[in-house]
Amino acid sequence: MCDSVWNKFQEKFPEIIENNYKYNNIINNILTSPNNILLYCSNGFPIDLFIEIILLKKTNNKSFYRNYHLWEKTINYCENQYFIEIDLMNPENIKNLDKLTKFLLNIVNTKNIGLTKHIIILKHIDLLIKYFYEFRILLEKFSNNIIFISCTHNISKIEAPIKSRYNIYRIPLFTLNEIDEIYKNYLDMSLNDIFYTLRSRDIIKSLFLTEYEEKPSTKDLITDEFIIYNYPPIVEFLKSFNKNNINEIRNLSYKLCQYNIRIIDIINDFINLTNNDIYLYYKYPKIAKKNINNTKNLLKMEIVKIGEEVEYMLSQTNKCREPIYIENLLCKLLI
């Protein structure tokens, strides 16, 4: 018996994918490929569950067990007789990415007994940006003994020489109609009304809202702002922000990084703030009503342009400098 909305979705997910031609076709193409696989998608798609289906079909299994290990007190990973899985987003692994090559060499220098090649799952491969040269050498030298299945939400941060050694597959988000059908046909539930009007394709956030919106203890948590914005406190921040105090922007940029709010999420929030007139009146407090619609459209285009420029600059450096670029973005938008 499923004890949560997520568990019910997880149980039904193989059936959902099997009955969806688009995703089923991607999986069939992956299964026929003998090469390294790189999957990329936006936040909001359950890529972990998708990879699980690929592995189950690739090894002809119905389920997996996983043993969790810590290699030389540096790299956290899990393994079974079929594959090794490493999540680079794990806080302990992020601190020890320089040890990853040594760990991988320790694996590939031994022959896999059960399969023709080692299968290694690397999640959030874009975090290897400082070590792509070492990783590329490993991909070339041990291609006869290892297959990588990697995934990322930031394909632009991966260098061309790395991408050329993978077969790359874009995994699209579920469409709004597909999410609606999943709720009706597989979960026997209905979408949150506000979430539906946003036309969002983030099924993970939708499932979270469904799980908690009816619980009395979460009444104060599931507000309209929580549903609409990636970082809900941005609303109150904008209403009380003092343009003469740049430290407020600096503090906000660090908070956004701590909560893993990306530049694209900030841009989406400012577009929604504009749609709800909050950012519009922040920028133009005395705007005439007849000019509102036209000014909104121009303002949203300006927000996207600024975000695009800052995102590109960030893509040319490493993630450790992200707070600086988020602060730069906020200064351009707020000052």
Domain ranges of the chain: 33-170, 176-334
Residue 223 has pLDDT above 90, yes or no: no
Which of 66-70, 148-152, 217-221 has the weakest average pLDDT?
A: 217-221
pLDDT of residue 319: 65
pLDDT of residue 329: 94
Please give the model's pTM, rounded to 2 decimal places: 0.82
Residue 13 binned pLDDT confidence (cut-offs 50, 70, 90): very high
% of the chain residues with pLDDT over 90: 51
Fold that domain 33-170 belongs to in CATH: Rossmann fold (3.40.50)
pLDDT of residue 20: 95
pLDDT of residue 302: 95
Residue 137 has pLDDT above 50, yes or no: yes
pLDDT of residue 214: 67
* Closest of 269, 206, 222 to residue 45, by C-alpha: 206
Which of 218-227, 290-299, 323-332 has the weakest average pLDDT?
A: 218-227
> Distance of CA 122 to CAs 12, 127, 134, Å?
25, 10, 15
Burial (Cβ within 10 Å: 0-12, 13-18, ≥19) of residue 117: middle
Q: Please, are residues 145 and 33 in contact by the beta-carbon 8 Å criterion?
A: no
Residue 317 has pLDDT above 90, yes or no: no
pLDDT of residue 1: 41
pLDDT tens-digit series, residues 110-135: 777 677 788 999 999 998 988 898 99
> Distance of CA 303 to CAs 240, 283, 322, Å?
20, 12, 18
Q: How far apart are the first and last CA of the chain?
A: 53
pLDDT of residue 211: 84
> What's the sign of the alpha-carbon dihedral 278, 283, 288, 292?
negative
Read off the pLDDT of each residue in 93-109 and give the average, rounded to a whole number: 86
Residue 63 binned pLDDT confidence (cut-offs 50, 70, 90): confident
pLDDT of residue 72: 87
Read off the pLDDT of each residue in 162-190 and give the average, rounded to a whole number: 93
pLDDT of residue 312: 86
pLDDT of residue 219: 66
Alpha-carbon 244 to chain mean position:
34
pLDDT tens-digit series, residues 33-62: 989 999 999 989 999 999 999 999 998 888
